[in-house]
């Protein structure tokens, strides 16, 4: 019997009646309006809307069409169970680090570290959290594990044996999903925070052996009254990342 609070999606969904919605958002608006939302309203997201987002997202590109993603959509008690499992692990003193699972490097370059710090302190500044206030910084970080109160939590996994190119494919899928959500006035927050605790996550969602967690995603309606949602991270100037080659011949 299928648990309605936990769905595993690894193949295109069958055609279903489409939920009513507003005029489609154009791609540019979806890209520019997408941001990491860290406070959601409790309003439930209709399952039909979630299914449409997931079905559209299956059009994400992947090398040789391998489609190497598996998706677990959690709501209600099953979502809370994942939260509880991870918090129990943290309380037991079993907190892990990103480099322990090979997700992020142990040491960052000065450039990348400055970008990380800028967005982190930008968030804490909005929330009135001082740098030396470790307790409040920790409390804010732990909000990741409630999906920032979003009604829907999504986990995306990949088979262990796959390599860098396949992880790139899953990244393309994640971006496609987040942009598709904007078409329904929904917001998201992609979350690496779950990855160091993936053993607890994978066990709780019932993922089979041989899968690794790529990311979690909070999905829901933005709480526009919360100041943390006014944060829009800066982007590097185009000339600092792009090189035009051969245009002088035109």
pLDDT at 242: 96
Range with lowest mean pLDDT among 75-79, 96-100, 190-194, 221-225: 96-100
Query: Tell me, what's the pLDDT at 190?
Result: 98
Is 17 domain-assigned? Answer: no
**Is residue 169 in some structural domain?**
yes
The total number of structural domains in the chain stands at 1
Q: Does any domain span residue 136?
A: yes
**Is 16 contained in some domain?**
no
Residue 79: CATH number of its domain: 3.40.109.10
Q: What's the confidence (pLDDT) of residue 24?
A: 82
Model pLDDT for residues 206-222, shown as the tens digit of each residue: 999 999 999 999 999 99
In a domain, residue 185? The reply is yes
* b/e burial code for range 60-92 (CB count within 10 A of at least 16 → b): bebeeeebbbbbbbbbeebbeebbebbeebbee
The H or E element containing residue 235 is none
Range of the domain at 105: 6-11+32-249
Calculate the dihedral angle through the C-alpha atoms of 23, 29, 30, 34, rounding to the nearest 10 degrees.
-130
What lies within 8 Å, CB to CB, of 54 at 6+ separation is 9, 13, 71, 73, 177
For range 32-60, the mean pLDDT: 97
Classify residue 24: in a domain, yes or no. Answer: no
Tens digit of pLDDT for each residue in 73-97?
999 999 999 999 999 999 998 888 8
Predicted confidence (pLDDT) at residue 2 exceeds the cutoff of 50: no
Return the bridge partners of 159, or none: 211
Within-domain flag for 18: no
Residue 26 placed within a domain: no
**Are 132 and 180 in contact, with CB atoms under 8 Å apart?**
no
- Whether pTM > 0.85 for this model: the answer is yes
């Amino acid at each position: 019997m299928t648990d309605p609070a936990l769905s595993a999606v690894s193949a295109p969904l069958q055609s279903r009646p489409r939920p009513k919605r507003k005029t489609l958002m154009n791609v540019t608006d979806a890209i520019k309006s997408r941001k990491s939302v860290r406070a959601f309203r409790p309003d439930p997201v209709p399952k039909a809307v979630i299914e449409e987002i997931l079905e559209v997202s299956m059009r994400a590109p992947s090398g040789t069409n391998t489609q190497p993603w598996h998706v677990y959509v959690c709501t209600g008690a099953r979502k809370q169970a994942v939260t509880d499992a991870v918090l129990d692990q943290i309380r037991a003193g079993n907190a892990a680090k990103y480099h322990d699972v090979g997700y992020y490097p142990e040491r960052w370059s000065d450039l990348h570290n400055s970008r990380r710090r800028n967005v982190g302190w930008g968030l804490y500044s909005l929330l009135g959290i001082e740098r030396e206030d470790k307790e409040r910084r920790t409390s804010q970080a732990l909000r990741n594990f409630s999906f920032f109160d979003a009604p829907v939590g999504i986990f995306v996994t990949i088979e262990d044996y796959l390599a860098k190119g396949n992880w790139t494919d899953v990244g393309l899928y994640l971006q496609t999903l987040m942009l598709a959500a904007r078409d329904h006035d929904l917001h998201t927050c992609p979350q690496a925070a779950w990855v160091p605790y993936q053993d607890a996550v994978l066990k709780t969602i019932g993922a089979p052996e041989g899968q690794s967690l790529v990311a979690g995603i909070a999905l829901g309606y933005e709480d526009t009254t919360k100041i943390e949602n006014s944060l829009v991270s800066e982007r590097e100037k185009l000339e600092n990342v792009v090189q035009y080659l051969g245009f002088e011949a035109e």
